[in-house]
């Protein structure tokens, strides 16, 4: 029989009240609180806390506090990733972020989802879908990435967008719901 964590990572309905999952979330909360309480002159402490928090973190990653996540260990960060202030990642499923990715302030990344059926929701079960962000992506401030989306390499997501479907490579996309506005191929501004 699968554990609740195995169900969670497999994208199946699971019970978030499971003791192991509660313990892991509590550990992440303690690490993010310690990180968020650091000052700008505590770079090595910040790095140590982030290395303990994340599954994988590439060189040159920089995160402005405050930062919040559910587990941390389900987040894989490439090299030179930048998060501006107040970003949130609900990493109930895997979140894979490529190299040279930039997040504006208040970006929200949600892998968590809940059943549409009220009876199932009342039972407290939830599920998740992984999110993937390709290399050289820029996510504008206040954008929300919904469960299961993929953002193609070199694309730009406009500020305030709500991404509900996959976005291909090399495009500028924006709006609610987010849609492709134009190609960035051969665009001198990129």
Q: Please pick, among 5, 45, 80, 114, the residue that the annotation labels catalytic.
A: 114
Distance in angstroms (rounded) separating the CA atoms of residues 39 and 48: 14
**At 50, which helix (H) or strand (E)?**
helix 43-53
Query: In sequence order, what are the residues at sequence separation of 6 or more whose Cβ sits closer than 8 angstroms to the Cβ of residue 102?
Result: 81, 82, 84, 137, 138, 139
CA distance 78 to 56: 8
Whether 114 sits among the annotated catalytic residues: the reply is yes
Beta bridge partners of 139: 103, 157
Catalytic residues: 114
């Amino acid at each position: 029989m699968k554990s609740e964590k195995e169900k969670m990572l497999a994208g199946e309905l699971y019970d978030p009240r499971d003791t192991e999952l509660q313990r892991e979330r509590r550990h992440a909360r303690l690490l993010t609180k310690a990180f968020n309480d650091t000052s700008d002159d505590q770079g090595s402490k910040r790095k140590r806390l982030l290395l303990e928090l994340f599954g994988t973190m590439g060189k040159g990653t920089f995160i402005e506090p405050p930062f919040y996540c559910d587990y941390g260990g389900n987040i894989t960060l490439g090299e030179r990733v930048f998060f501006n202030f107040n970003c949130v990642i609900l990493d109930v499923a895997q979140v894979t972020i490529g190299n040279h990715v930039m997040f504006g302030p208040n970006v929200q990344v949600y892998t968590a989802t809940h059943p549409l059926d009220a009876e199932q929701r009342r039972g407290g079960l939830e599920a998740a879908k992984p999110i993937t962000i390709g290399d050289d992506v820029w996510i504008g401030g206040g954008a929300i990435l919904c469960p299961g989306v993929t953002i193609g390499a070199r694309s730009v997501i406009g500020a305030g967008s709500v991404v509900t479907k996959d976005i291909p490579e090399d495009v500028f996309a924006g709006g609610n719901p987010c849609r492709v506005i134009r190609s960035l191929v051969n665009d001198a501004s990129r």
